[in-house]
Structure formats: structure tokens, C-alpha cells
Amino acid sequence: GQSSLTLALLRCNLIEGNVRSDGLSTNELNLDALRSNVTIIPQLPELLRGTLRQDLDPFSEHDDAVLNDALRAAGLFSVQDEHAQSRVTLDLSVGQRQILALVRAIVRRSR
């Protein structure tokens, strides 16, 4: 179910029918653009080994205000205070890791 949908959405498998995103057939979209604008949040998300900031913005493309707004939107702003400079990946529950993956998607403005 979910894996098949993910593979079809990202055009990893040949499919019958048509997958649409925002009213457009995914077959009509540039494959690189499609895949860079979709975020899949797995049941067991992997986090980068580093600070919370490094995990949310590994290429330093966003300022702190954007990251803080995304953390607030996901209800994880308190984690920022607790783990500002620490190695956050070891301390978070699976649920918090999933929400952190959602925060990454918010920061990237992906779907």
C-alpha cells in the first residue's frame, strides 16, 4: 500500500494509470524537480549525526528564524532549547524523529 504509492509517486516503478500531484500528472513533471519537492517520512527516520541545526539545514541555506518557525509549527521548539549544541540524534524518540523529519520538509517547503 504505502510503499507502492511512494514508488508510484516518485516514478520509481512503471505503473498503470496516472498519479497526479497538484492536478498535474507526475509523468509531465521533471523527474529531478518532482523528487526534490517531495518528502517521504519513514517509520524509522534517519537523522544526521550532528546538532539539531545541522540536521534541519545541512547546507546552511536557511537562517535561524526559518528553522525556529518550522520547529514551532511542528511543536518541537522546546527540543531546540534542550539540544541547541548537542548531538541530538541519540536523544530523540522515534516519534520525535518523525516530527523532526516533518520539520525538515517544512524548511525545504516540500510536500
Q: What is the 3-state secondary structure (H, E, C) of the chain?
A: CHHHHHHHHCCCCCCCCCCEECCEEHHHCCHHHHHHCCCCCCCCCCCCCCCHHHHHCCCCCCCHHHHHHHHHHCCCHHHHHHCCCCCHHHCCCHHHHHHHHHHHHHHHCCC
The pLDDT of 96-110, averaged and rounded, is 87
Q: What is the pLDDT of residue 84?
A: 55
Number of Cβ atoms within 10 Å of the Cβ of 47: 19
Residue 86 scores a pLDDT above 60: no
As a whole number of angstroms, the distance between CA 28 and CA 25 comes to 5
- pLDDT tens readout for residues 57-79: 889 999 999 999 999 998 888 77
Q: What is the pLDDT of residue 60?
A: 92
Note the pTM of the prediction, 2 decimals: 0.69
Q: What is the pLDDT of residue 42?
A: 85
Do 76 and 103 lie in one domain? The reply is yes
Domain count of the chain?
2
Reading the block at residue 14, the C-alpha cell is 512503471
Q: What is the pLDDT of residue 6?
A: 83
The answer to whether 67 and 56 have CB atoms below 8 angstroms apart is yes
85 in any annotated domain = yes
44 in any annotated domain = no
pLDDT category, 87, cuts 50, 70, 90?
low
11 in any annotated domain = yes
- pLDDT tens readout for residues 1-34: 678 888 888 888 766 788 888 888 988 899 998 8
Residue 89 scores a pLDDT above 60: no
73 in any annotated domain = yes
Q: 62 is in which domain, residue-wise?
A: 52-108
Do 28 and 58 lie in one domain? The reply is no
